[in-house]
Amino acid sequence: MHDVVVLVPTRHEAPNVAALAERAEMALEATGLRWRIVFVDDSDDETVAVLAGLAAVSDRVSVLHRAPGERRGGLAGAVLAGLAVAESRWVAVMDADLQHPPELLSDLLQPLRAGTAQVVVGSRFLAPLGGGRRGRVRPAVSEVARRSVRAALPRARSVSDPLGGFFAFERQVVDDVAIRPDAARVLLELLVRGRWTLVAEIPYVLADRLAGRSKAGPGEGWRLAWQVARLRRAAGMAPARLPSPVAVAVP
């Protein structure tokens, strides 16, 4: 049983995963916690071999490779697959492209360790705080998506960045909670349907992608719009008036 498992959904990120593992290991080792990094890999390229090499040299890194026929739901499906094998009190989720700073894993986990939060969200929208964390100009699309989702879903208003992909939570928050593998945003599903009462945020600057290309496409906007509509129906709420799916494309 580990204190924390870090889930990293991965698809065609060979140039990035070694650097991520190294930086994450340094940050996690400093916490004194019992930890493991689990790459949930949907790759068909050299990423498969690179991840196998990382797992071979570190007993704290493991890989769950999903064959083409097992890749239900994309990113959310990958997170759910990782949860199925993660034996830990806390779970953290981050992208493999190094846009989420691995060095902030300790900050992300601190409110959980202190018992002051059950969900901790890394936010790109908080006012700048010290330590060299400066603000970032946010694309208009991201801002429209954020405002629309927070207006449509009351529980999403608890945080400034409900559409982010850098977050951590107590495992019991999602135990026996039906999270859809086709959800556009796992965090949004967790915030709306999860069992939590305390939430915290930490600020971070979204870094430039180190290598490779973004996996986001125009279909993400439609998936997010459907997710919001489904969550409102499940809560017994009337349909929301959202901008066109193009305007709520992924941040």
Domain ranges (residues) in the chain: 2-234
Q: Which amino acid is at 96?
A: A
Q: What pLDDT digit, counting tens, does each position of 190-217 carry?
A: 999 999 999 999 999 888 665 555 555 5
Q: Show the 3-state SS of 116-152.
A: CCCEEEEECCCCCCCCCCCCCCCCHHHHHHHHHHHHH
Tokens of 133: 């964390």
Q: Which alpha helices (DSSP H) does the chain contain, by range?
A: 14-29, 47-57, 74-85, 105-114, 140-152, 186-193, 219-234
Residue 60 buriedness (CB in 10 A; 0-12 / 13-18 / 19+): middle
Distance CA 177, CA 180 (A): 9
CATH class of the 2-234 domain in this structure: alpha beta
Mean pLDDT of the chain: 86
Q: Up-side HSE of residue 133: CA atoms within 13 Å toward CB?
A: 20
Q: Residues 30, 122, 55, CA angle at the centre, nearest 5°?
A: 50
Q: What are 116-158's pLDDT values in tens digits? A: 999 999 998 885 643 333 444 345 567 778 888 988 899 999 9
Predicted TM-score of the model (pTM): 0.87
